[in-house]
Amino acid sequence: MINILMLGGRRCGKTTVLASMCNSINQALTGANLRIEPSDENTRRRLSAAQSVIENKLGEFKVPLTRIKMDDSPTAAETRYSFSVFSEGRKPFETLNICDFPGEWITDAAKAQKVRDYIAGCQVIIIAVDTPYMFSNLTDKGFGAYHEEYNKTREITNFFKNSISAQHSSKDGSQLFKDKLILFVPLKCERYYHLTKIKELNTNNRDYMNEIAEAVKKSYGELLDFFKSTPELAASCTVAVTPILSAGGVDFVKFQKDEETGRLVAVYQEPEYLKADECGYSPKFCEQPMVYTLLYIMQRIIRANVNKQHTSAFSTMFGGKNSAVQIAVTVNTLTKRVKRFGDGYCIIQDPTHSIS
Amino acid sequence: MSVDTTVSNEQILFSIRSKIDEILSKRQKKAEELRAKREKVFELGKAFTDAKSLYDIASQIEDDEQSELCFEKIDALTPNGKDVQNFISEIDSVIKRFERDYVSIATVGKERQGKSRVLQSIGNLDNEVIPAYKSTSCTGAVSVIWNDSSMPEGAVKAVISFKDVEDFMSTVNTYVQIIDPSMKLGFGDLTKRGISDKLRRIVEKNAGNLDMSIAFNHLKDIFEHFEEEIRDLIGGDDIILNEKETIKTYVAQNDGKSESDGCEHYYKFIAVKRADIYCRFYNDIGKVRLVDTVGLEDTKAGIEEAMLETVKNECDAAIVVTKPISGIQLPDQHLYDLFRENFADRDTSKWLFYLSNKQVGVNDSTAEAFAKEINETGMAIANRSDDYQNMVVDASDPDGLYRTFIIPMLQKILENFGEINESYVRRLESDGDELIRKLEESVSESGPLSKKGLDNGMGQQAFLKGKQCFNTMSAELSRQVMYWGAERNNPNGELFNRVKVILDNIYEMIPSEEKLQLMFESNGALLTDDVWKIALNMVRNELTDKFIEIDEVLEEATRRFKNSLVKAIYEELKSLIPETVVLSQNEDELDMTQWLNEAIKIIDVKPEYRQIIKAFRFLCSFEFNTRAQIIQTVRQQLYIINPICDEYAKPVFNFHKNTVGKEVNYYLTSRISVVEENIRSSLLNLYRTPNQAFYAAAEEFYDRLTFASDMDENNTLIDMRDIWGMFFQDFYTIICAQAAQQSIAIEQFHSKYDELIQSIRTKMAEFPFKSQGVK
């Protein structure tokens, strides 16, 4: 069983990106002899609903000069998305669970143990970042004025530093944190992707997407330090930044204060100067976190085989005499599909060369 | 103690009256002597009070250390002045006692012991003036009964005085706080029903708490009768009453009847401070007054303290009246101990009398047993003798009372009067010894001051001051350099915040849809594209206006920065530069470089000072102007909304006449969103520039003033420390003048202080209250 944990501030759009990811993953897996499908009706329904919401929102752009407010519904309780992994022509051989829980749990002492358990039981941690909050109103710290408050950077960092055992000598007996893939996933990067590409508006030749990766490094600097704070962590954790365009043809414009709630609300519009195929619902790079995950897991299998340790159903998925060849083909395809640089992609730490 | 039976009663009384007149006259002469001595003590006290006049002189001394020393010397004398004042109050109290034209005797004792009955018998009074009933507490107020032989027999005059509001409320609040320590009532609160109820509820909740219950009973009487019988009397003028029926309603608590017989209760006594009752005594014993006190077991607040105060301040002797039920009881012992403790310096065997009240047929034997026990236990009382029968008397029998007790008591008092009075004088002398000891200690501690004046080494002193100035100045400048060193990598807060305000409000600069549409419709010559361009022009101009204004913020920051550096040297050099140069502005507006410019003119007299002058000139002319950098950065980001620039990004959209306002607003918002993003990003490095410039300037100023060592014509190294020393030496006339002025003030203080101490010593030598043997 592969467990992925999604962390991030409230309303940052985690469900939306899962829907887009689910939509695009199988195309990315073409040739890898792998396929991923929602394994239960709940997962299928939730993701379908989330996709409908975003598509409907984008549909509003058919009326010229329309701007929409994005105010995602917060996750009220822990939500599990369950997927089945198939190899070509076979029954599902592996389950992939993605757990999304309310952002507040991070700071809720009563939930701390539960979060710790999730972290202990997962192989991949996705730290979702609402990019407009991270990047707008840039301050001298290198990230936006609202970032810490809305994306809970300090809370997430402190949780790891204070609640997760990184030392063998830990007194609380909790499971040692190691062998994880940690992905920082800036969501809703459309504006910055488009601004980088559109020469009419990018008179300074800025690489906004690269600046986003830098902002991640600066704002989560302490957390990144934590992931290499012991020799074991540094030798076992893979860390990368994988920005995503959650919906495609929709750019963040500005924040405005909601008069009723007093909350900051992000206002979006249809980008200018776009090619026709980039307009409307056209998410980009959404498959990458899943590609990273699969590649990371496959590489672990290969290492385990070398060490004669069969730790996952993957080791038997391509049963038969050509299984080693099949695994090599899958890894080779995933290696080609994984995006390692450009557009803000950046591998920060990969001691086992799982990705790079 | 016995009455000589060979002499007639009238002869004895005549003798007593004459003797009283005689000793009172002697005592009054003593009061005159005390008054003269008091004057000398007063003069001593005044000398200490005069010390305060030295504050003015001390405050003129600018040298903080010297000034502080002088203030300390004055402050050290102040408590002595208070001690002398307290002693004068003590003398005044004795003078007041000695000036009295009567012998004052208190009756004290527990409740229902017959005190009032004794007074009735002595004063030939009845229950209506001095209530004395068998079954109840009856005395409501303190009464003073004066023997006035000029009054007809049986006639009474009562002068009733009333409590003031403060006294009255103090008693009320004593009760209130027993019930609720957090509550304090005002006079007006006594008419509020709710308060009484609230207190009652607290008492009910604490059922079993006797103190609360008693306190509430007193309060209940006050609350219930306040409006009708008490309120108007409080703080009122004295009244004179001649009718006994009326007098009793002011001095008694009730009419003595049992409740079943329709006992009438009175409450005016609550407002009465004291009743002075003038009457002809049963026997004319001359200038005597009797002071009735409230029974000690009465639960009214402060009874014991009030009794002791009365005996201490108003009486020459006291009678403890007891109606014994057995031998000496615990309360009797307590009362005796109370007297011994509170009058340790006044021999109770000279003035404290015990009367064992014998109620014939009721306690005959116990009254005698009590007297006998008192005699045997050796209590220090004035009427203790082997013939203890003289202590036993039926209080309701005036003849017996006078014969057995009063006349012998008066004779004893007269016999002891000299000693009684002398004890007060001895107490004054003993306290006087203590006072003088304390003053001598204090005055010797005041010792001579270390004097500071001009001397011939002023030039050298100036040179040293210059070096000292260098140290102080370089420490402060170093602190400034360190501060800006730490700040140089931080954005300048004022600049950042000002830019933030502009950019946070940038969308408000975009003309509204309505305004743009109206502009188009009201001007027929405009094309839709013109509206777009006009809107761009408006936003560009408004935005750059805002950024140009930032210069003021930086100018202000620069002014404060310069002031902070100049202040580091100003304190050391201000004596050299004419005062008029520093403008009397408030701190927020002060430009201290003006002072620095004036300083340059004054000190630019020697080539040796060139580094100082260079540093001063540098700081005066230092300016930090970011206008060009900021405007260049901002304008660069505005290229995309400036049609004359190559980078201009025209919308791929054709504006429509009917909706041009909305369309222009929409696309302009998009453009401004990009502009805002880029300005924020591109100014990030600029925010640090002011702090970096300030650091550089501070470092330059500090470096030049402290480390710019030079070579003279002989190639000898000249340290900046020596240059500052030389500099001060050159300006020493100014320093001298200032020091001279200081010296005059210090000298003046010394002279006055020494004069004062001498005067105090002289007056202490003449101090009139000294025990024998104390020189």
Taking CA atoms, B622 is separated from B694, B698, B700, in Å, by 9, 10, 11
What would the two tokens of residue A231 be? 């020799």
The per-residue pLDDT for B287 is 94
The amino acid at B373? E
The more confident residue out of A78 and B340 is: B340
The per-residue pLDDT for A243 is 96
Nearest to B680 among A137, A195, A200 (CB): A137
- Residues B171 and B302: beta-carbon distance below 8 Å: yes
Nearest to B652 among A206, A254, A273 (CB): A273
Query: Min CA distance, B678 vs chain A (Å)?
Result: 8
Residue A169 predicted with pLDDT over 70: no
- The average confidence (pLDDT) of chain A is 85
> What is the model's pTM?
0.55
- Alpha carbon distance B174, B167 (integer Å): 11
Query: Min CA distance, B572 vs chain A (Å)?
Result: 39
Q: Is A203 close to B504, i.e. CB distance below 8 A?
A: no
The per-residue pLDDT for B740 is 63
Per-10-residue mean pLDDT, chain B, length 775: 60 91 92 92 87 81 78 82 90 92 90 84 83 56 86 89 90 87 87 82 83 84 86 90 86 76 83 90 92 69 78 89 83 86 86 89 83 85 83 90 91 90 88 88 63 52 74 86 89 89 93 93 89 94 90 86 84 66 57 81 81 89 80 91 90 89 93 93 88 91 82 77 79 63 76 85 86 57
SS3 content of chain B, % helix, strand, coil (to 5): 65, 5, 30
> Helix H segments across B277-391?
303-314, 330-342, 364-377
Residues on chain B touching A273 (C-beta within 8 angstroms): 652
Q: Is the dihedral of CA B431, B437, B441, B447 positive or negative?
A: positive
φ, ψ of residue B409 in degrees (nearest 5): -65, -45
Nearest residue to B686 (alpha-carbon basis) of B550, B560, B591, B594: B550
ipTM of the complex: 0.86
Residues on chain A touching B496 (C-beta within 8 angstroms): 139-140
- Alpha carbon distance B525, A94 (integer Å): 72
Per DSSP, the residues of A285-315 read: STTHHHHHHHHHHHHHHHHHHHTT---STHH
The amino acid at A224? L
A248 conformational bin, left if phi > 0, alpha if psi -120 to 50, beta if neither: left
Q: Taking CA atoms, what residue in A is nearest to B662?
A: A65
- Residues B357 and B117: beta-carbon distance below 8 Å: yes
B688 touches chain A (CB under 8 A): yes
Listed by number, the residues of chain B in 614-653 with a beta carbon closer than 8 Å to a beta carbon of chain A are 636-637, 639-640, 647, 649, 651-653
**Residue A246 DSSP one-character state:** S
- Alpha carbon distance B90, B112 (integer Å): 35
pLDDT band at A307 (very low <50, low <70, confident <90, very high): low
- Which of A135, A250, A254, A267 to mutate against chain B (most B CBs within 10 Å)? A254
Q: How many CB atoms within 10 Å of residue B165?
A: 11
- Alpha carbon distance A315, A320 (integer Å): 11
Contacts (Cβ under 8 Å, ≥6 apart) of A346:
A213, A217, A240, A241
Give the model confidence (pLDDT) of A17-34 as tens digits: 888 888 888 888 888 888
B669 touches chain A (CB under 8 A): yes
B678 touches chain A (CB under 8 A): yes
Nearest to A201 among B640, B681, B687 (CB): B640
- Alpha carbon distance A191, A197 (integer Å): 10
B670 touches chain A (CB under 8 A): yes
Q: Is B491 close to A140, i.e. CB distance below 8 A?
A: yes
B673 touches chain A (CB under 8 A): yes
Give the model confidence (pLDDT) of A174-191 as tens digits: 556 888 999 999 999 999
Q: Is B670 close to A195, i.e. CB distance below 8 A?
A: no
B489 touches chain A (CB under 8 A): no
Per DSSP, the residues of A323-353 read: HHHHHHHHHHHHHHH---SBTTBEEEE-TT-
Residues on chain A touching B637 (C-beta within 8 angstroms): 204
Q: Is B684 close to A65, i.e. CB distance below 8 A?
A: no
- Residues A166 and A229: beta-carbon distance below 8 Å: yes
Give the model confidence (pLDDT) of A122-165 as tens digits: 999 999 999 999 999 998 889 999 999 888 898 889 888 887 76
Query: Min CA distance, A128 vs chain B (Å)?
Result: 22
Nearest residue to B560 (alpha-carbon basis) of B530, B538, B587: B587
Q: Is A253 close to B507, i.e. CB distance below 8 A?
A: no
Contacts (Cβ under 8 Å, ≥6 apart) of B548:
B627, B631
Residues on chain A touching B678 (C-beta within 8 angstroms): 204, 206
Q: Taking CA atoms, what residue in A is nearest to B647?
A: A203
The per-residue pLDDT for B451 is 47
Q: Is B681 close to A140, i.e. CB distance below 8 A?
A: no
- Residues B97 and B28: beta-carbon distance below 8 Å: no
Nearest to A201 among B491, B649, B680 (CB): B649
Q: Is A138 close to B680, i.e. CB distance below 8 A?
A: yes
CB pairs under 8 A between A and B: 55
Chain A residues interacting with chain B (CB cutoff of 8 angstroms): 65, 67, 136-140, 195, 200-201, 203-204, 206, 211, 253-254, 269, 272-273
Residue with tokens 């003006």: B594
**E-assigned strands of B676-757?**
710-711, 717-718
Q: Is A272 close to B670, i.e. CB distance below 8 A?
A: yes
- Which of A63, A147, A201 to mutate against chain B (most B CBs within 10 Å)? A201
- Residues B266 and B249: beta-carbon distance below 8 Å: yes
Q: Say what angle helices B660-683 and B513-522 make with each other, to 10 degrees.
A: 130
- Alpha carbon distance B610, B563 (integer Å): 22
Cα angle B518, B523, B529 (rounded to 5 degrees) comes to 80
Residues on chain B touching A138 (C-beta within 8 angstroms): 677, 680-681, 684
Q: Say what angle helices A112-121 and A153-163 make with each other, to 10 degrees.
A: 80
- Which of B638, B645, B654, B680 to mutate against chain A (most A CBs within 10 Å)? B680
Own/partner pairs for A226-231, CB < 8 Å, 24+ apart? Answer: A226/A157, A226/A160, A226/A161, A226/A166, A227/A182, A227/A349, A228/A349, A229/A166, A230/A166, A230/A167
Contacts (Cβ under 8 Å, ≥6 apart) of B29:
none
Listed by number, the residues of chain B in 211-230 with a beta carbon closer than 8 Å to a beta carbon of chain A are none
Query: Min CA distance, B200 vs chain A (Å)?
Result: 49
The per-residue pLDDT for A323 is 67
What would the two tokens of residue B43 be? 């003069």
Nearest residue to A118 (alpha-carbon basis) of A105, A131, A128: A105
Q: Is B504 close to A137, i.e. CB distance below 8 A?
A: yes
What three-state secondary structure class fits A318? coil
